[in-house]
Structure formats: structure tokens, C-alpha cells
Amino acid sequence: MRARLFLDKAALRKHSGVRHHRMNVDAELRYRWSRKLPGLLLLAAASYLLFRSHVYRAPRLVDLSQLNLRSLEEASLADKVIKNKVIVLNIWAPWCGPCRQEMPWLDHLQQSHPEALIVGLEDDPDVIPAARELARSLGITYPLVQANDQTHRALGRVAAYPTTLYISASGRVVHTVTGVVPERVMQYYLKDTEAHP
């Protein structure tokens, strides 16, 4: 019995030593993290603000008929063409490689879905002649319009090209896509937008 009691005391001393060591390690970790935490929080906040400033946030509602849209040839885009249609608004620039890549897909989307309207909004006013030439060389049939102060106020400034808004017939922005997506994904977004009131 005495030997057993001695073993229990030895085990207790050993266990309390491990526990004491563990408490010291925990205290040291807490101390280190308390020193690093303010810097990490500051870094996280700065990253969030930087990321937030470079992310495009589309408006919830858009009425393109109120934006005085003009084609690349300076012709007005008739309101009756826009009213009560599902619209795929592609914001692009002619120097943008991904924009040029998806333009034929958007043209095919317009041809296969005449009930919807695909509109290309050219967002760099310094390169309108290059945009006209690109549209001619690619054989684009959907309307290409110029950005203006009204479009920038209504839509905001995009963070990257291409940016595409899928707008329901009631003017609600259902999907916002930045970057190139395959044609089948465009068709999915269009069908989903048509299903929204």
C-alpha cells in the first residue's frame, strides 16, 4: 500500500510539473499574441479598405432609358429598344484583351436570344475610333454605346474590364460579373435574369 501511495505522489508531482509548464507556455503565447494582435488588426483593416476601394459594387436598379445612350457613331439608342427588356450590359474597352475575347460570344448570345438586349458600353472615351474599328473587324451586331457622365453616375466606375451586368426587365441588377466567363455561363446568367421580375 505504501509503495502505491508513493507512486501516486510521484505521479501527482510529475503531473503538476507538466501542468505548471503548460501554464507557462500558455501565458507566453498569450503575451506574444497580445503584442502582435494590434498590428494584425491594423493590417486586416487596411487590407479590407484597400480591397473595398478596388471592388466594383453595381447599383441595385438601373434604368438605361434615362441615361441618354449614344452609339459609337453618335446615334441615339432609342428608349423603345431598351424598355421592358432583359439587358446584358457589358462594360469594356478596346485595348482590353479579355473584352475582345468575349465580344463574339456576346454577339452570339444576342443572336440566340433576340428577346434580350446585349449592350456594350465602351468606357474609354479616348479610344472611340479604335472601338469602332474593332467592332467592324469582329462583325459585332449588338449595340455599342459610349460611356458618359450619366452612365458613370448611375453605374459607378468599374474596377476591371470586362464587367457585365445582367439586368432584369424591371431594371434590377441580378448578376454582376467581372472578367471573362465562358459563353455557357453567360447563357445561364441570362436565363436566370429572365426568370427574375
Q: Dump pLDDT digits (tens) for 54-76.
A: 567 888 999 988 888 999 998 88
Q: Dump pLDDT digits (tens) for 98-122.
A: 999 999 999 999 999 999 999 999 9
Tell me if the pTM is above 0.75: no
43 or 92: which leads in pLDDT:
92
pLDDT at 164 over 70: yes
Supply the pLDDT for residue 53.
45
Supply the pLDDT for residue 45.
64
Q: Tell me how far apart the alpha carbons of residues 102 and 186 are, in angstroms, rounded to a whole number.
A: 10
Supply the pLDDT for residue 5.
47
Weakest mean pLDDT among 73-82, 85-94, 136-145, 154-163: 73-82
Supply the pLDDT for residue 125.
86
Spell out the domain ranges in the chain: 1-54, 64-195
Q: Dump pLDDT digits (tens) for 30-58.
A: 887 778 777 777 777 665 555 544 567 88
Weakest mean pLDDT among 21-25, 66-70, 88-92, 183-187: 21-25
Would you say how long the chain is, in residues?
197
Q: CATH code for 64-195?
A: 3.40.30.10
Single-letter residue type at 24:
N
pLDDT at 22 over 70: no
Most trustworthy range by pLDDT among 12-16, 19-23, 33-37, 94-98: 94-98
**In the predicted model, what is the mean pLDDT of residues 124-142?**
93
- For 35, other C-beta atoms within 10 Å of its C-beta total 9
**Grid coordinates standing for 61?**
436598379
pLDDT at 16 over 90: no
Strand 117-122 and strand 144-146: the pairing is parallel
**In the predicted model, what is the mean pLDDT of residues 2-31?**
59
Percent share of the chain, pLDDT over 90: 54
Residue 61 φ then ψ, to 5°: -125, 140
Strand 163-167 and strand 117-122: the pairing is unpaired
